[in-house]
Chain A
């Protein structure tokens, strides 16, 4: 039992409690506390990721279990295995980056950081949680902060409509998933919400086929709405378009992955037969994401709506990986989840920066930004290329694994998805780059300065700090994309053991006795499951 994960999860909440106590005038102190608490979470998650041995993948480590409501079998249970260690890392890094880009929030700073910290703590807790009840509750902690943040600090005339649509739609998805989770708890006969214990129990006494078919749709569509599965995706672009930068980063980057993680962790192992029979439908619906929403993204004239639709489209790849139901596919799905988390956070951070400096995000009105903002422009180019699936970035790795794994089972769907990913994705991404960055430099617009640009006559140490600090969130997210792009083994070696275990559970392979952890395999010599290297 280790308290490390609890500290990781609790740090933002403690930060929120501190922020609530500080008088609202001390804006600098509030911001400092927020940054520190998310930085602690980030540092701990990096440490956790670094020491996590790949051979550990299938078992849960750094567990912390506290009985919560004994009569119902609810425990506070956090732990990491190969599946969620990458997601916790991504959540913590994006949380820190989101807190760091909030420099434009000037009014009601205290409430903003309070809500932001609660949201961050909630999503980290959701990924770390191994109990169905806490899994759900941690995710729902983000609901009201989102509602208030979009309403108070959001942009555009449609923000009221956007915030209500998003909140109500997400609530509908969450409640449908809740009914599915409760039904799962009741039908499994295990009298506990503990995911690990449930998986063990169901492995020994599987749930009846009819009951599985009754419960699985609830989970699929409930989680699907949360992940903006087509056709339940309409809340996402408008919601992200109206949200302030930090909220959009956390939502599109991290919160969306919650439903997918739920499907992989809960729905597939516990309802394997129903899951397999629904895979065809999932493959068709994910095409709706990739092709239909990709097409919609191509037509967008506003950068935020374009990125919002593109992030919905990318979810299709994860669904395709899940639908393929084999080791490469599931591992690829995990890689896409982590990669897209960083990507979505990065693109929304960039668009937030551009909105702040330029005042608007209409593609036709922007142009020639690369000359005025070399750093931000360069990062934007790299982010857009990553979105297209350029090798060198983590998205390429994940998408390649997904396509390789899905081709055997769904050749037509995979071919269409490839087309959607490469052609359609390239069209809107490259078009966006051309509209925003190239062309004649804009006249006037004194606000268009680069991130961390040094003002003349400023005190040198402060200027240097400012130069580095303003670039840090973008650099952090970009380097994560590059790191996992060039060295994906860091992620896949950990995830594949958990993915294999989930597939074993789904295939009714009897449980093997626990083997002691193998020494970390030599990366270069081992036959890699990742054809991308």
Chain B
């Protein structure tokens, strides 16, 4: 019962409960500021995470090897903490659009964060499922938080129904796999998988789990929920969904494929390649006609899941470390974009691209931040998005020598990137040379939000221009994953 390994998660949960309690005694007009308090406390937790030292073997276990703390887990925990801090700052900015219960909003973000942090440390199917459900259920509520707006409720219901369906598939798969392997622990399953991989029931169970994970990361064919939920949910929820939930899905996928069943995964190369290719094309093609900002970013996040699946399909350390780097860059990029969206959409009825038109005149700072985010998402040097894509391409082409299918996938990825340029640069065009929308309100920006945007922009540029440290961190983190070559 090594609870001290979980002190970060416990701190976060305690913070969530503390915010709920503080809400009882806080006067009405100060309730918004609880978000800043939560963000500041999370900053302390993030700093504390850098003081956590791993033992000499690089891995520490708790709860009968259910909970693992290694470099991969720490990398993702820090990523989630950073994302949550920036999302909390965004939600303070958004708080005027939530009629009541803003403290519950903050607490739910914190509970979702704790679920993500547990997900980064899973070594057992029980923790896998519990963490996943903790994230998903909190997001059901976060999505439908604007109870007065139909589209928010509708998005929540859609997410609930489809999410429940995906969870049902996954639990069934877990039951089949654990039943056959006689254990829920990943190490045990890895040992048992060698003998069981011929059994169709076992493989069916694994595929069902994959279905559940594909829903989480919004990969084809389970991506239909993403645009509707991204559009309907409040902007900070969408931001956290885009970054945190996706990253959680990917760390679970990495642990599942390369810790639980490393021997079986190479058989699925073709499947992963096809899913990656179709996801990339689907996300990019469907984004072209979009006029709604949040929906556009929803489709683009499907495309990015496709690029990340390239790294998974490569099945080597280069691919997985590329995924980690890409997610780090993606964090800064998407959170910058959504912070700007949050501010710009204040008081507007629709989320149309017209809202950012002429932003360079209304606020050069916000225009620069949004343009930088779009450029980084497109994958243009010298920003983080480019280096992430570069690493993913390199990982895929490394396998290309042995399997020509990877060259095809690289070609599809190129087509996808060129298509994505059209809609990302369309937003840049709207920002810089369209005439401003007449009914836009003056843009008020608090100092803390300004600082968070500067942090995001600095992160994008730093990861793009000086990627060395991040690349080394990522390579270090994926050492615990096992790649059967």
Chain A positions near chain B (C-beta within 8 angstroms): 68-72, 111, 133, 136-137, 140-141, 143-144, 147-148, 151-152, 160, 164, 167-168, 171-172, 175-176, 178-179, 182-183, 185-187, 211, 214
Known: A71-B471, A179-B410. A171 touches B397 (CB 8 A): no
* Interface membership of B440, Cβ < 8 A: no
B381 touches A140 (CB 8 A): yes
B183 an interface residue at 8 Å Cβ cutoff?
Answer: no
- What residues on B are CB-neighbors of A182 within 8 Å? 390, 393-394, 397
B155 close to A (CB within 8 Å): no
Output the nearest chain A residue to B418 by Cβ-Cβ distance: A172
Q: Which among B37-45, B124-132, B336-344, B425-433 touches the partner chain?
A: B425-433
Residues of A within 8 A of B417 (CB): 171, 175
Determine whether the beta carbon of B400 is less than 8 Å from that of A176. no
Contacts of A72 in B (CB 8 A): 394, 471
- B401 sits at the interface (CB 8 A): yes
CB pair B393–A179 under 8 Å, yes or no, is yes
CB of B398 closer than 8 Å to a CB of A: yes
Chain A residues with CB under 8 Å of B310's CB are: none
Number of A-B contacts (CB under 8 A): 75
Q: Which residues of B contact A214 (CB under 8 A)?
A: 407
A186's partner among B360, B401, B425 (CB-CB below 8 A) is B401
Chain B, residues 348-392, CB within 8 Å of chain A (1/0): the string is: 000000000000100000000000000100001110001000100
Contact indicator per residue, chain B 444-478, by CB within 8 Å of chain A (1) or not (0): 00000000000000000000001110011001000
B394–A68 touching, CB < 8 Å: no
> Complex formed: what's the CA distance from A136 to B398 in Å?
19
On chain A, the residues within 8 Å of B468 by CB distance are 68-71
CB of B421 closer than 8 Å to a CB of A: yes
Nearest A residue (CB) for B367:
A111
Q: How far is the CA of A133 from the CA of B429 in the complex (A)?
A: 28
A68 to B418, CA, bound (A): 28
User: Do residues A143 and B380 form an inter-chain contact, with CB atoms below 8 A?
Assistant: yes
On whether the beta carbons of B421 and A178 are closer than 8 Å, the reply is no
Pairs of residues from A and B, 6 with the lowest C-beta to C-beta distance, nearest first: A137-B381, A140-B381, A175-B414, A69-B468, A152-B433, A172-B418
- Roughly how many angstroms separate A72 CA and B207 CA in the complex, as a whole number? 34
Docked complex Cα distance between A171 and B417 (Å): 9
Asked if A178 and B432 sit within 8 Å, CB to CB, the answer is no
CB distance from B262 to the nearest CB of A (A): 23
Q: Which bracket fits the contact residues of B?
A: 20 to 34
Q: How far is the CA of A137 from the CA of B382 in the complex (A)?
A: 7
Q: Which residues of B sit under 8 angstroms from A68, Cβ to Cβ? A: 466, 468
User: Is the C-beta of B268 less than 8 angstroms from some C-beta in chain A?
Assistant: no
Interchain Cβ contacts under 8 Å between A and B, 12 examples: A71-B468, A140-B380, A140-B386, A141-B381, A144-B380, A152-B433, A168-B421, A175-B418, A179-B397, A179-B414, A183-B400, A186-B394
B414: chain A residues within 8 A (beta carbon): 172, 175-176, 179
Cα(A141)–Cα(B398), bound, Å = 26
Residue of A143, A151, A176, A211 near B432 (CB, 8 A) is A151
Closest B-chain residue to A187, C-beta based? B401
How far, in whole Å, are A521 and B250 apart by their CA atoms in the complex? 64
Are B472 and A183 interface neighbours, CB within 8 A? no
CA distance A417 to B428 in the complex (A): 42
Contact status B425-A164, CB under 8 Å = yes
Asked whether B381 lies within 8 Å of A136 as measured between CB atoms, the reply is yes
In the complex, what residues of A have CB within 8 A of residue B386's CB? Answer: 137, 140
Give the distance to chain A from B119, nearest Cβ to Cβ, in Å: 27
Bound-complex Cα distance A69 to B387 (A) = 11
Q: State A172–B418 Cα separation when bound (angstroms).
A: 6
Q: Give the one of A68, A71, A160 with max B CB within 10 A.
A: A71
Interface of A, secondary structure class, is helix
Nearest B residue to A178 via CB reads: B393
Taking the closest CB of chain B, its distance from the CB of A111, in whole angstroms, is: 8
Once A69-B471, A71-B472, A140-B381 are accepted as A-B contacts, the answer to whether A168 and B422 lie under 8 Å apart by CB is: yes
Given contacts A140-B386, A182-B390, 4 further A-B contacts (CB under 8 A): A71-B471, A141-B381, A151-B433, A164-B422
B410 nearest CB neighbor, chain A only: A179
* Shortest beta-carbon distance from A528 to chain B in Å: 42
User: Which chain B residues border A175 with CB–CB below 8 Å?
Assistant: 414, 417-418
Say yes or no: A141-B422 contact (C-beta < 8 A), given A70-B468, A152-B432. no
A294 to chain B, nearest CB (A): 29
**Residue from B381, B393, B398, B422 with most neighbouring chain A CB atoms (10 Å):** B381
Please name the residue on chain A nearest to B414 by beta carbon. Answer: A175
Contacts of A164 in B (CB 8 A): 422, 425
Residues of B within 8 A of A160 (CB): 429
Rounded to whole Å, the gap between the CB of A401 and the closest CB of chain B is: 35
Distance between Cα atoms of A111 and B386 in the complex (Å)? 23
Neighbouring B residues of A187 by C-beta, 8 Å: 401
Which residues of chain B have C-beta atoms less than 8 A from A133's C-beta? Answer: 390
Name the residue of chain B whose CB is nearest to the CB of A185: B394
CA–CA, A210 and B425, complex, Å: 38
Q: Judge whether B398 and A186 touch: CB under 8 Å.
A: yes
Find the residue from A68, A137, A214 having the highest chain B CB count within 10 A: A137
A507: min CB distance to chain B, Å? 26
A14 to chain B, nearest CB (A): 15
Could you tell me if B390 and A178 are in contact, using CB atoms closer than 8 angstroms? yes
Min Cβ gap B426→A in Å is 8
Is B397 in contact with A183, judged by CB distance below 8 angstroms? Answer: yes
Other-chain contact of B475, A71, A136, A147, A148 (Cβ < 8 Å): A71
Which residues of A sit under 8 angstroms from B471, Cβ to Cβ? 69, 71-72
How far is B422's CA from A214's CA once the two chains are assembled, in angstroms?
Answer: 29
Say whether, besides A137-B382, A144-B375, A171-B417, A186 and B397 are in contact (CB < 8 Å): yes
Cα–Cα, bound, A7→B411 (Å): 38
In contact, A147 and B381 (Cβ under 8 angstroms): no
B contact residues around A71 at 8 Å (CB): 468, 471-472, 475
Give chain A residues whose Cβ lies under 8 Å from the Cβ of B428.
144, 147-148
Task: List chain A residues, Cβ under 8 A from B475.
Answer: 71
The minimal Cβ–Cβ distance linking B463 to chain A, given in whole angstroms, is 12
A224 to chain B, nearest CB (A): 15
CB A188 to nearest CB in B, in angstroms, measures: 12
- CB proximity of B430 to chain A, nearest CB, Å: 10
Return chain B residues, CB-CB under 8 Å to A179: 393, 397, 410-411, 414
CA distance A249 to B180 in the complex (A): 69
Min distance, Cβ A106 to any Cβ of chain B, angstroms: 16
Q: Which residues of B contact A167 (CB under 8 A)?
A: 421, 425
Assembled-state Cα–Cα distance A182/B380 (Å): 16
Residues of B within 8 A of A136 (CB): 381
Chain B, residue nearest A69 (CB):
B468
Whole-angstrom CA separation of A172 from B421 in the bound complex: 10
Nearest chain A CB to B125 CB, angstrom units: 34
Q: B418 contacts which chain A residues (CB < 8 A)?
A: 168, 171-172, 175
Q: In the complex, what's the smallest C-beta–C-beta distance from B393 to chain A, in angstroms?
A: 6
Residues of A within 8 A of B375 (CB): 144
Do residues B421 and A171 form an inter-chain contact, with CB atoms below 8 A? Answer: yes
Chain B nearest Cβ from A435, distance in angstroms? 33
CB distance from A110 to the nearest CB of B (A): 9
CA distance A152 to B410 in the complex (A): 33
Bound together, the chains give a CA A51 to CA B381 distance in angstroms of: 33
Q: Write out the residue numbers on chain B whose beta carbons fall within 8 Å of the beta carbon of A168.
A: 418, 421-422
Decide yes or no: A148 and B432 within 8 Å by CB, A168-B418, A172-B418, A186-B401 being known contacts.
yes
Q: How far is the CB of A420 from chain B (nearest CB, A)?
A: 32
List A contacts of B429 (CB < 8 A): 151, 160
Residues of A within 8 A of B401 (CB): 186-187, 211
Q: Which residues of A contact B411 (CB under 8 A)?
A: 179
| Minimal Cβ-Cβ distance residue in A for B413 | A175
**Interfacial chain A residues near B466, Cβ < 8 Å:** 68
Cα distance A211–B407 in the bound complex, in angstroms: 13
A222 and chain B: residue at smallest CB distance: B414
CA–CA, A140 and B467, complex, Å:
17
Q: How far is the CA of A140 from the CA of B411 in the complex (A)?
A: 19
A250 vs B382: C-alpha distance when bound (angstroms): 20
* A405–B364 CA distance with the chains assembled, in angstroms: 54
Tell me how far the C-beta of A185 lies from the nearest C-beta in chain B, rounded to whole angstroms: 8
